[in-house]
Amino acid sequence: MLKSHGRYDYSAIAKRPDYSFPDGRRLAVHFCLNLEHFSFGEGLGNDYGTNQPQPNVRSYGWRDYGNRVGAWRLLELAEACDLPYGVLLNTALYDYCPELVAAFSDRGDEIVGHGRTNSERQIDMSMAEERACLQEVSEAIERHEGKKPSGWLAPYVCQTQHTPELLKQAGYRYMMDWPIDDQPIWFRTADGPLLSIPYAHDLNDSLEVVTRRTSSQVLCENLIDQFDEMLAESARRPLVMGVVLHSFILGQPHRLRRFRSVVEHILKHRDRVWITRPGDICGFIESLPEGIVPGR
């Protein structure tokens, strides 16, 4: 027998119990905007493809552009389209540019835990250090937003063997680190169930543009194809489509122009899909009877 993580059992999507999202919708779409901050001249978070000597001012400036310029463009897009975001936040931004975070939280966007900074990864931490990191992020969000975060996505989508237990102990209700499904599923932890919500690892704008060198034209065509195919399939089963945005990627003018067409295409079907935040998906799944969603 191969070694198993023990977190969930195999479940074929075509053989699961059926359900619908609020108002009978069958496809839930959530837009996750990554807002990240980096340490200058040290740590992770510069070029994915080629490591450059520190201080890598070109790459640091490219990332900082996302907070100074790109995120504000994506905010204007969301306001123009009445689009909710799940904001995946490095809490270092509360100190660096609190007005940026406030601009999103003031409009009701969900603040999701995304580490202290993308200059570090949980896999490089001891269990005690990881526990302290999760707690620090949770406390910072609660202090600024008035409530603890419900969800988590790790910097670099990186977990340790202990992460699900530590998330549960810190009060998190869902995570988006495991690219295993197009429906939410329950994970087992020693401290009780933890929900896994689909997040786009394929068609993630950062991976596509930075690592795979996908053009914005092709990326946006693929996002439209993804939506259209999932909308058609949702007649047979409920599905969740995550759309991933990074402020330094899709906040660039030429990419935003293409990405706007994706948003406009999705909004043409607004009466058929549930455009929502990941925390709202979590709350809905929690309301379903036990046995409907795999894993619990």
Q: What is the DSSP letter of 234?
A: T
Mean pLDDT for 215-223 is 96
Name the CA dihedral angle for 61, 205, 123, 138, rounded to a multiple of 10 degrees. Answer: 80
Q: What is the pLDDT of residue 263?
A: 98
Mean pLDDT for 188-211 is 94
**Separation CA 111–CA 234 (nearest Å):** 28
Cα four-point dihedral sign 257, 68, 51, 205? negative
171: left (phi over 0), alpha (psi -120 to 50) or beta: left
Length of the chain: 296
Q: What is the pLDDT of residue 6?
A: 93
* Model confidence, pTM: 0.96
pLDDT digits (tens, 9 = 90+) for 229-284: 999 999 999 999 999 999 999 999 999 999 999 999 999 999 999 999 999 999 99
Q: Is the peptide bond between 84 and the residue preceding it cis, with omega within 30 degrees of 0?
A: no
**Separation CA 238–CA 213 (nearest Å):** 32
pLDDT digits (tens, 9 = 90+) for 125-154: 999 999 999 999 999 999 999 999 999 999
Q: To 5 degrees, how large is the angle CA 228–CA 231–CA 232?
A: 90
Q: What are the residue boundaries of the structural domains of the chain, listed by start?
A: 19-40+50-287
pLDDT of residue 52 exceeding 80, the answer is no
pLDDT digits (tens, 9 = 90+) for 146-191: 999 999 999 999 999 999 999 999 999 999 999 999 999 999 999 9
DSSP element (H, E) containing 31 = strand 27-35
Give the residue carrying structure tokens 């309301």. 287
pLDDT digits (tens, 9 = 90+) for 37-46: 999 988 887 5
Mean pLDDT of the chain: 95
Q: Tell me how far apart the terminal alpha carbons of the chain are, to the nearest angstrom.
A: 24
Q: Which two tokens stand for residue 96?
A: 């660096």
Domain at 19-40+50-287: CATH architecture: Alpha-Beta Barrel (3.20)
pLDDT of residue 228 exceeding 60, the answer is yes
Q: How confident is the model at residue 48 (pLDDT cuts 50, 70, 90)?
A: low
Q: What is the pLDDT of residue 46?
A: 57
**Separation CA 28–CA 225 (nearest Å):** 16
pLDDT digits (tens, 9 = 90+) for 70-111: 999 999 999 999 999 999 999 999 999 999 999 999 999 999
